[in-house]
Structure 1
């Protein structure tokens, strides 16, 4: 794990340097889906400060035993009826993609007196198997939830199609970056286009080259998952 983290950090530094970016401005999220608490805590001891979970149940099960104070990210599809279980536990929800979920996040955040920070999930490649808004629907969706006082939109997220050759999916990251800049220029109130969450173990280097400043890496850190 130590070696894996070192390799990823080295690649982040290399790519950032080439682009005159600061590597400190790039957030590495360790995706801990199916990973046991001891290995999560080992990763934290090795300097991991951001943890990403795909399932609400795993957040609930692990939350009390996570050492240190890493920022928790809900990166998987979020069912509206489960928002109440994580609203006070996660620092960033990556998967807001529909009005019913926005209403539930607003309701639960208001009840808990918190501001829920969220990313809008975009299905750039329009894969039927994936969640997320179509590119053309993102701005209208953002405009429809601007009045939700307990929701703060912090950026965009996408999951690219899997490809043996990551070059084949570069267009996905390019398109999301373009949308990110377009929305930033609109200066919506309650919207802070800070995070562009894209890139996973297989394609994070291409995503970084196209402007990602938040990557979600699981297998690349922890090795193959055991289900």
Structure 2
């Protein structure tokens, strides 16, 4: 399929998942993960109607950012080292991988220097896999409470990655767990404003994630592939 055909197919699948779960398709945002494709393909993705672009390393994203600055919203979706914060804050509009207080403090300092406030998702390791980055669910409240003192950060929600599974249905407890955690955190009133966003679901499991409340899905292979020659 061409890029445009894949986009229509993804839109159809999102609409069906929303219908099954009684949701408005407009409540689901798609981040096109372009880390495995060229800047040219990323540009065509934006031209095809995608507004949100996801990358996980600044060196690989720089050409795309310079090409699409002002045309796309950039999401940093990879693990972020504190020493790399200077490369990311001010260029990426969202950070999906906030997972420790020391990183939050670096983001805050850089954001303050630039006079901006950075929307961030807290990355949670709901599945408990050793191979996954993110906070253990039980320590998330303490970090959320600390974020209330860092004016350079706007905590918008939570992010997780489910284990790879042959049957996407196996991922449902992970996504349901993240939604439950956000509800619990909001019930604690640790922040001035409640968190409303759930970044969860990728190419193999995004429909289940949507059924469980995802407001952002991160789609790579199912949408843009690895490299395109669609003409």
Equivalent in 55, 63, 66 of residue 64 of structure 1: 66
Cα distance, 1:167 vs structure 2: 1.4
Pick the aligned partner of 2:144 from 142, 145, 149. 142
Runs of at least 5 residues in structure 1 that lack an aligned partner in the other structure = none
Relative contact order, higher structure (CA 8 A, sep 6+): 2
Distance in 1 separating the partners of 2:22 and 2:208: 16
- Between the aligned partners of 1:63 and 1:224, the Cα distance in structure 2 is 18
Q: How does 1:205-220 map to 2 (within 5 A)?
A: 205-220=207-222
Counterpart in 1 of 2:106? 104
C-alpha separation between the residues in 2 aligned to 1:200 and 1:191?
27
| Aligned residue pair count | 226
Map 1:105-184; keep pairs closer than 5 Å.
Answer: 105-184=107-186
For the Cα contact (< 8 Å) 1:195–1:213, is it kept in 2?
yes
Shift of 1:67: 6.2
Q: Supply the distance in 2 between the matched residues of 1:70 and 1:188 (Cα, whole angstroms).
A: 32
> Is the 8 Å Cα contact of residues 54 and 76 (structure 1) preserved in structure 2?
yes
Q: Relative to structure 2, which stretch is displaced further, 57-66 or 106-115?
A: 57-66
Mapped contact 2:203–2:222 kept (Cα < 8 A): yes
Whether the 8 Å CA contact 1:59–1:86 is kept in 2: the answer is no
Alignment deviations for residues 74-104 of structure 1 (CA, whole Å, 9 cap, x no partner) = 0000111111112111111000001110110
Q: How far, CA to CA, are the matches of 1:224 and 1:81 in structure 2?
A: 29
Tell me: CA distance 1:45–1:123, structure 2 relative to 1, closer, same or farther (3 Å). same
Q: CA deviation at 1:57?
A: 1.6
1:58-97 counterparts in 2 under 5 A? 58-66=60-68, 69-97=71-99
Match of 2:5 in 1: 3
Please give the secondary structure, in 2, of the residue aligned with 1:220: coil
Cα-Cα RMSD: 1.5
**Structure 1 counterpart of 2:40:** 38
**Kept after mapping to 1: 8 A contact 2:17/2:210:** yes
1:125-183 per-position Cα deviation (integer Å, ceiling 9, x unaligned) = 11111110011111111112220111110000001111111112211001001001111
Residue 50 of structure 1 corresponds to 52
- Secondary structure of 2:175's counterpart equals helix
Distance 1:109 1:6 in 2: 37
Residue 83 of structure 2 aligns to a residue whose secondary structure is helix
- Looking at structure 2, the residues matched to 219 and 57 of structure 1 have their Cα atoms a distance apart, in angstroms, of 21
Residue aligned with 2:141, SS: helix
The alpha carbon displacement at 1:62 in A equals: 2.1
Structure 1 ranges of 4+ moved more than 3 A: none
